[in-house]
Amino acid sequence: MTDEEGEAILDTFNKIGFDYNFNVQERKLNEDLIDTNNKYIWDKNKLDKKHYFSSESDMESYIIVSLKYAQSNVYENLNNLLKKYQNNDLQFSKIYNQFIFGNAYPSDVVVLNENNINVFELKKDKLTNNNIPQIEKEIKKHLYYSLFSDRINSNKIKRFNFYLIFLKDKDNERFKWSIFERFNRLCNKINTLRENNFAFVEYSVKDDNLILEEI
């Protein structure tokens, strides 16, 4: 959610009260709480053995948790991807997951700052012919709905960067041009409104780290 939406919810809690039945709920939860950190997600997905995520939601969670730590390998990788474009440093940006620009279709991870809209679409598997139509649908929705989104005053932002993240595989190369061609076709009608960029990013697991590499 945006800062304004968060403040509205906080204001509601302030007016109603925070402590309704709090002690009862806390006692119920204490015995069942699990520390959901990167180690938990790593072990849950058996990444040491499988080297790929079991679900895109786990992949998303792993990235979001990693971005809380500026010294993490994922933070550094993601920041290097962003810095390809001017005034796009991660430290001066806000990070969202499942962000909705205008319709009811959320983006996996969004990084926003004064100059850039960065959308990260996550795929746990490699690229195939079968997932290209879905990727095109995702590009179209985020590309167009982010143009005049009231949630972020996007009409003032002059650059949109779409990052497609997928499992590293030698077969990925043969699908890149088809996806990039569809992206360009979708951009043709709006290129005069802002700069639009596309990046292919492979993920892999190595030495207890998630590696993100643009190809």
pLDDT tens column, 40-70: 999 999 999 999 999 999 999 999 999 999 9
Q: Does residue 28 sit within a domain?
A: no
The confidence band for 31, taking pLDDT boundaries of 50, 70 and 90, is low
Strands 159-167 and 116-122: parallel
Q: Does residue 101 sit within a domain?
A: yes
User: To the nearest whole percent, how much of the chain has pLDDT over 70?
Assistant: 89
Higher pLDDT, 31 or 44: 44
Q: Does residue 107 sit within a domain?
A: yes
Report the predicted TM-score, pTM, of the whole model to 2 decimal places. Answer: 0.86
DSSP string, 54-111: S-HHHHHHHHHHHTT-TTSHHHHHHHHHHTTSTT--GGGSEEEEEE-SSSS--EEEEE
Q: Does residue 4 sit within a domain?
A: no
The domain of 88 spans: 34-214
Is residue 108's pLDDT more than 90?
Answer: yes
Q: Does residue 16 sit within a domain?
A: no
Q: Does residue 25 sit within a domain?
A: no
| Cα–Cα nearest to 160, from 133, 187, 136, 179 | 187
The confidence band for 22, taking pLDDT boundaries of 50, 70 and 90, is low
Q: Does residue 171 sit within a domain?
A: yes
Is residue 24's pLDDT more than 60?
Answer: no
CATH assignment at residue 107: 3.40.1350
Mark out the alpha helices in 146-196 (DSSP H runs): 173-187
Number of domains in the chain: 1
